[in-house]
Structure 1
Amino acid sequence: MSEPVAVTPNAVSYAVRDGIAVLTIENPPVNALGQAVRAGIIAGLDQADADASVQAAVIIGGGRTFIAGADIKEFGKPPTQPYLPDVLKRIEAMTKPVVAALHGTALGGGFEVALTCHWRVGIDSGQVGLPEVKLGLLPGSGGTQRLPRVVGPKVALDMIVSGNPIPNKKAAELGAIDEIVNGDLLDGALAFAKKVVAEKRPLRLVRDMNDKVSNVDPALFADYRKSIEKKAKGFLGPWRCIDAVEIATKLPIDDGLLKEREFFFECMASPQRAAQIHAFFSEREATKIPGLSEDVKPKPIKSAAVLGAGTMGGGIAMNFANAGIPVKLLDVSQEALSKGLGTIEKNYATSVARGSMKQEAMDRAMKLISATQHFEDIGDADIVVEAVFEEMGVKKDVFGKLDKVMKPGAVLATNTSTLDIDEIATSTKRPQDVIGTHFFSPANVMKLLENVRGAKSSPETIATVMALGKQLKKVSVLAGNCDGFIGNRMLHGYLREANFLLEEGCSPEQIDRALEEFGLAMGPFRMGDLAGLDVGWRIRKGKAHLRPKDERYSRVADRLCELGRFGQKTGAGFYTYEGRDARPDPVVKDIILEESKAQGIERREISDEEIVQRCMYPLVNEGAKILEEGIAIRSSDIDIVYLFGYGFPVYRGGPMFWAEQIGLDKVLATIRGFHKTHGKFWEPAKLLVQRAEAGKGWKG
């Protein structure tokens, strides 16, 4: 065995073991495929090819992973040589066998490197994948042309269009990995390379494997496009991914690589790519809390309790159970507990039936959920999340009881979506332990966790709920305390204008359709019917005394609720329902016309463009006020709240980013026009005026 030989640059170390060159990627923490790594791989391969004593080469990742993808430090910068295709050409030009040894994650360009090697081995705990679509791109260095040749076009479509990785064990079953190594990966890779040499196997290039991409039925691609039509609506990347994989079945690989590169640059130039990369970085930035010292450690959460066995409480309990945390569900009503546990079991059973969960996982989760009617039974929990009625009196009563029974240091969290965290905290003698954890409905599905700090929430409590979000596989954002926090405070203006537009000339279906064409999963009226109109009605009634008598107010939703039309759960709301199918209702139309007449409003034709501006620009304007007040730490946090909590289209990057893309000056000009026409609700935020008039974005 020879001693390691230095190669410049040193992001890739080189050694020879028993006649096998070992190229080890040394670019922690995730061995990103930056310029130094690309140059290092080429240099190492040159050295291996030139050394007569070397019979084969192994490329392996040092540390915890293989190559986890592109170097995010290079995002948005001009590409530097050598380019990734240069690395892949060099691998294919090798005169000696090259084996990729995979552990951790081999993603994006990392997996493209592995696919270009002659053979691949890996440990079963690793993952491989091509996630570029999640950044608005498609694999641009052969992934769409090589993967179908290894696993077939159907599997390749599933992997590339979803962007989701698969385990190495599954990849081996599909043929993307040649051998699963038990024991030390490097030893296994060296043994495999020696076996290849000993057996004098001819060099095997994926580019020459055409069996699985020959004579493919074109209906595969037509059917696949149809299957993603709803989910991928408005996106560019998924459709180009399908186009590229289809080309792999029709053209020689060199022609396919050229088309793939063409599609890649088309996606790269798209505003969607900028929006999706913004979302990618913003999600990671949201976990960074200014002023929160690294010395502050989160409290360990090993047990939990949830108050309220309704839809929200049950969903929250499922989150803890899914994370392996024992949770007690408390409700004073045995009937509510029985119903809640039944709903939880039904939700899990649905997941099992769909194939998204295994029966063993369901059984394990159900065993972690227990029920009680007694506050004393939950006192030893590390965190309790209150999910009772959205009424201040009820919540304060509950927190007074929690104060008496919970152990010292337990986190007392409220799932309130609008109410004052500080007032809730006054019911306890430990306001430092009180904080908001606003889950979104359905809580077992939605990824956002809007954590709300009170004036006295301790740094340790804040750190705990932010870490809890990660534990529960949520996307966490920290908000300040105000009416509605970030998300629902902004939503107020969105819903207000949607209702005003009804009175001015629109129908619910026109507004929903315009906003769904903009990219929302559901318009405001379909969403309201799904969530339940009675929730908002209860909140409005509770705040009615605060509303100035001369302030414009739409009564359409209230009148529907007075008729018992609460949405899907009652079979009628803004629409009538047969199952989940929403149908326009003449009763709703009559109520809207009556309210227009009562308000003295002359109805008119309203364009879809005005609908979008009237509903979306309040988000931007209120978001600017939220930034002014420090309720949100950064504009990108607002975007994350709306991307993960409210269905804002990812390919638009969130309301604040979207406004920057339009131009804050243009947004301000439109808002000023609405202010002149529609009054005080449209007064421009000071921060918006400052940034727009200075020609700057939200960051100044």
Structure 2
Amino acid sequence: MITKPYRNFSVSTDYHGVVTVSIDVPDRPMNVLTAEVMSEFVTIVGDLERAIGVTAVVFRSEKESGFLAGADVAVIAGIKSPQEASELIQAGQRLFNRIESLPIPTIVAIHGPCLGGGLEWSLACDYRIARDNTSTKIGLPEIQLGLIPGWGGTQRLPRRIGLSRALPLILTGKHLNASAAIKVGLVDRAISPDHWDHGVAQFVDDVVAGRVTAGHSAPLWRRLLDGTRIGRALTVRMSKRAIRTKSKHYPALESAIGAASVACKPNYDGYGLEESEFLSLLFTPTCRNLLGLYFARERARKPSTWSRSAGTALHHEPIRKVGIVGAGAMGAGIGQLAATRGYDVMIKEIDDKSCRAGSARINTLIHDLATRKRWGSFERDLLRAKIQISTELSSLEDCDLVIEAVVERADAKANVFAQLDSVAKPTAILASNTSSLSITAMGDATHRSHHVAGLHFFNPVHRMELVEVIRGRDTDDETMARLVQFVKAMGKTPVVTTDTPGFLVNRVLFPYLGEAITMVGERHDTAEIDREIRRFGMPMGPLELLDQVGIDVAADVAESLRGVIENADPAINQLKRMVQHGMLGRKSGEGFYRYVDEKRQGATMMKNKSTENQSNSSVGMINDGLTPITRRLIYPMLIEAVRCHQQHVVSEAWAIDLAMVLGTGFAPHRGGPMKMIETIGLETVAENTRRLARIHGSRFSAACFEEAAIDQPGQTGDQPSIGMQPQI
């Protein structure tokens, strides 16, 4: 086989006639399919089509980071017209069809990410083998950007593993490791890292010798489900039922089902349907908003976004050992996550009883993680050994970072910081997991206020992606840079805020929660309030959320916001009354709802007997696409988001949107509160706010909309660097 030198590939042939095509896209941390890569790949496939004496083709990556992260989303986001998109989709489909038609066996050796276009390339080949470790991730994540696979993924995946297994993967964007992929028939062999090179060579020899047969044996019921028209129709019906409540906001779900359902129909152009569905989604508001959030997320995970000292911090003493004060729900969660990420963890508790309770809490977290990961006792014990618990303050003296996670009281936290300052080494960073209290005050209790900051993890720690990194009055750039890098290493997304009550997320969230509490006091239907907000796109309603978080916790956060949020006293007082009556939410069995064995039974508050209050909220409003209930609840968030932006709680509007989506589940398809203002129109939001103020009071002040223009998400600052672009 004669080839020329390539910029993104290397091609070699061994004496057995096996051609190895290795991809290594320069100046990228991960391989991605760019226009240049695709052009070179077309040439290589043309050579393979004409080659004589080739016994097999192996596609693999030269990068240790992984095989292929997919197409460059920057290219997809930059498409200007349906015609341009159609040309891109057809080019990819033609290329992968040509690979599928090669007359020689084709093998893909997968390690690390094999996502989106990477998996579509792999599905066009005869065989797939994968390295069996935690870094291997195989999947089609396009749905998370409001799109569907466009290069044959909706057609080849159902044919390869069956519609009943393919649809859940496409509809969720979930990725599989090698072991899970082999169980569903997506890969033909999982090879341990220790035997990777030898295992690949052995598999290739087996293919050339005819000792490997492509295919996967499924149980009879699965074959009936996937192999019969009735079975596939049942799968489609069940899938449509599963997405029923989400498809209005996320049209890609219906498109994915439609495209995948025809994959097994004879004489049907499924690739044409896949293309048309992709084109119908690309310019929808949902897709554009989800694309914007992905770019924002990658930008937030870039340390230089937040600190001028990002480069110099890399040369500072790395954080290796993490100390934690308090083994409650948050402290234990942070400790377990840090250990999972490779850090040594020392937790300090107040007494032996608290140590035992904290240890049991950590054991439960590790057991749950091991169950999810299907770990054996060796992996569990190895992780547990990285976490120690002690009552001695001196146990924290060699930690590089100490995170305080004690009771949410300013005096208690100041006392902890004073003690930590006396034992921690001079270079150690002291951080608080507070959700609302002053970081500056905690720094003032020490002689190292430049090394004191906030790290606000959200509960539950292992699920919530956002971490607010709070800069105190004296916190220096190097400390902030090291903490941002630590958050990224923990697998989380940082958003840097100034030290103001409630920081960003709780400050924007509380007016919304407070309005819900006020509405309950006016005898609005509790369940209807939550139901309307779920229809808006939130994962749960405001009153459900308060019960979940805990009324006492919400009351503490609300108290810290007194004086910052206008007219917050009625809601704060209501929360305090509920605490006094033992109505703490789900954990006490009663809050805004009653609970029996953790199951909700009904609302505790009286229901409104008329629609007077609801109807008043809609009189004379300009159409903004919201119902009276959602308008009254969401507008307080929009108002406070703008205030936070104007007061520089965060540096730019996109960070507010990202934080609210990641920290509260703010309807992702709407892009965040700042993006929502842009979508509705600033003048419409301002005028509706004035009209709400006339009905409900001055807390709906529109002054913030008149004081300054809003720089919209994605329109300020630099775009993420090429290497930080998300891929599909």
Q: Does the 8 Å CA contact 1:415/1:437 hold for their aligned counterparts?
A: yes
Cα shift at 1:360: 4.3
Superposed counterparts of 1:337-376, under 5 Å: 337-351=355-369, 359-376=377-394
Equivalences for residues 359-508 of structure 1 within 5 A: 359-508=377-526
How far apart are 1:444 and its partner, in Å? 3.5
Look up the match of 1:129: 139
Specify the code of the residue in structure 1 equivalent to 2:37: V
Is 1:264 aligned with 2:278?
yes
Partners of 2:558 and 2:572 within 8 A in 1: no
Report the alpha carbon displacement of residue 113 of structure 1 after superposing the two structures with TM. 1.3
Question: Do the aligned partners of 1:5 and 1:15 also contact (CA within 8 Å) in 2?
Answer: no
Match of 1:215 among 228, 232, 253: 228
Q: How does 1:518-597 map to 2 (within 5 A)?
A: 518-540=536-558, 555-585=573-603, 588-589=605-606
Does 2:294 align with 1:296?
no
Matched, 1:308 2:323: no
- Letter of the aligned partner of 2:259 in structure 1? A
Change (3 A) 1:306 1:550: closer
Task: Tell me whether 1:61 sits opposite 2:61 in the alignment.
Answer: yes
What does the per-residue CA deviation read over 1:125-155, in whole Å, with 9 as the maximum and x for residues that have no partner? 5442211122122212221221222222333
Q: 1:252 aligns with which of 236, 251, 266?
A: 266
Distance 2:45 2:443 in 1: 64
In structure 1, the residue corresponding to 2:170 is in which secondary structure? helix
Distance 1:228 1:406 in 2: 52
For residue 333 of structure 1, report the CA deviation from its aligned partner: 3.8
Output the CA distance in 2 between the equivalents of 1:69 and 1:410. 40
State which of 138, 142, 146 in structure 1 corresponds to 2:148: 138
Identity %: 28
1:91 lines up with 2:99 in the alignment: yes
Aligned to 2:627: 609
Tell me, in whole angstroms, the C-alpha distance in 2 between the residues paired with 1:57 and 1:50. Answer: 13
CA contact under 8 A between 2:3 and 2:44: conserved in structure 1? Answer: no
Aligned partner of residue 589 in structure 1, secondary structure: coil
Distance 2:380 2:198 in 1: 38
Alpha-carbon spacing, 1:688–1:344, altered in 2? closer, same or farther (3 Å):
farther
1:370-429 C-alpha deviation (Å, 9 max, x unpaired): 322232222222211111222211111111111111111111001111111111100000
Query: Structure 1 residues 402, 263: closer, same or farther in 2, change over 3 A?
Result: same
Aligned to 1:278: 292
Separation (CA, whole Å) in 1 of partners of 2:514 and 2:438: 22
User: Which residue is 2:23 aligned to?
Assistant: 25
The aligned amino acid for 1:264 is: F
Please report how far the alpha carbon of residue 658 of structure 1 lies from its aligned counterpart in structure 2 after TM superposition.
Answer: 2.6
CA 1:171 to 1:543, structure 2 compared with 1: closer, same or farther past 3 Å? closer
Counterpart in the other structure of 1:656: 674
Instruction: Provide the secondary structure at the position in 2 that maps to 1:630.
Output: coil
- Native 8 Å contact 1:102 1:123 kept in 2: yes
User: How far did 1:162 drift?
Assistant: 2.7
Q: Deviations over 1:526-547 (max 9, x none)?
A: 1111111112334555776999
Closer/same/farther in 2, CA of residues 168 and 278 from structure 1, 3 Å limit: same
Which segment is superposed worse, 624-633 or 678-687?
678-687
Mapped to 1, the partners of 2:204 and 2:382 lie a distance apart of 42
- SS of equivalent to 2:627: helix
TM-score by length of 2: 0.84
Q: Which moved more, 1:498-507 or 1:425-434?
A: 498-507
Taking the aligned partners of 1:636 and 1:5, their CA distance within structure 2 comes to: 45
1:457 shift after superposition: 1.4
CA distance in 2, matches of 1:58, 1:365: 37
Partner secondary structure for residue 539 of structure 2: coil
CA distance in structure 1 between the partners assigned to 2:501 and 2:211 by the alignment? 72
Distance 1:191 1:673, change over 3 A: same
Write the letter of the residue equivalent to 1:509.
Answer: A
The answer to whether 1:117 aligns with 2:115 is no
SS in 1 for 2:635: helix
Secondary structure in 1 matching 2:528: helix
Q: Distance in 1 between matches of 2:318 and 2:635?
A: 41
Residue 581 to residue 195, structure 1, CA distance change in 2 (3 Å): closer
The 1:662/1:360 distance shift into structure 2, 3 A limit, reads farther
Q: 1:58, 1:190 within 8 Å by CA — same for their partners in 2?
A: no
Distance 2:166 2:564 in 1: 58
Deviation string 1:151-178 (CA, Å, 9 cap, x unpaired) is 2233323432332222345434544334
* Aligned twin of 1:207: none
**Superposed displacement of residue 495, structure 1:** 2.0
Letter in 2 for 1:346: T
Instruction: Please give the alpha-carbon distance, in whole angstroms, between the structure 1 residues aligned to 2:633 and 2:292.
Output: 23
Structure 2 gaps of 5+ residues are: 216-222, 619-625, 718-728
**8 Å CA contact 1:500, 1:554 repeated in 2:** no
Could you tell me how far 1:552 is from its partner in structure 2? 6.4
| 1:88-133 deviations in Å (ceiling 9; x for gaps) | 1322343444333333322111211121123334444544221112
The verdict on how the C-alpha distance between 1:407 and 1:230 changes in structure 2, with shifts beyond 3 A counting, is farther
Helix, strand or coil: the match of 1:294? helix
Cα distance change on mapping 1:604 and 1:230 into 2, 3 Å: closer
Alignment partner for residue 112 of structure 2, among 83, 104, 119?
A: 104
Per-residue CA deviations over 1:349-370 (Å, capped at 9, x if unaligned) read: 4555667665544433333333
Asked if 1 retains the 8 angstrom alpha-carbon contact of 2:322 and 2:399, the reply is: yes
Q: What is the identity, as a one-letter code, of the residue corresponding to 1:74?
A: V
User: Partner amino acid for 1:24?
Assistant: S
CA contact (8 A) 1:352 1:362 kept: yes
Equivalents in 2 of 1:667, 1:424: separation in Å? 39
How far apart, in 2, do the equivalents of 1:443 and 1:202 lie? 44
Kindly provide the amino acid, as one letter, of the partner of residue 573 in structure 1: G
Compared CA separation, residues 45 and 643, structure 1 to 2 (3 A) = same
TM-score, scaled to structure 1? 0.87
Deviations, residues 196-247 of structure 1 (Å, cap 9, x unaligned): 566599999xxxxx99942262434444555566788843334443443333
**Equivalent-residue separation in structure 2 for 1:550 and 1:518 (angstroms):** 24
The yes-or-no answer on 1:73 pairing with 2:71 is no
Q: Which of 167, 183, 199 matches 1:157?
A: 167
Deviates more, 1:524-533 or 1:310-319: 310-319
Higher relative contact order (CA 8 A, sep 6+): 2
Contact 1:15 1:21 in 2 (8 A): yes
RMSD (Å) for aligned C-alpha atoms = 3.6
Deviation at 1:478, TM superposition (A): 1.2
AA aligned opposite 1:5? K
Give unmatched runs, 5+ long, in structure 1.
205-209
SS in 1 for 2:385: helix
Distance in 2 separating the partners of 1:220 and 1:603: 41
Matched, 1:241 2:256: yes
Q: Which sits farther off after the overlay, 436-445 or 60-69?
A: 60-69
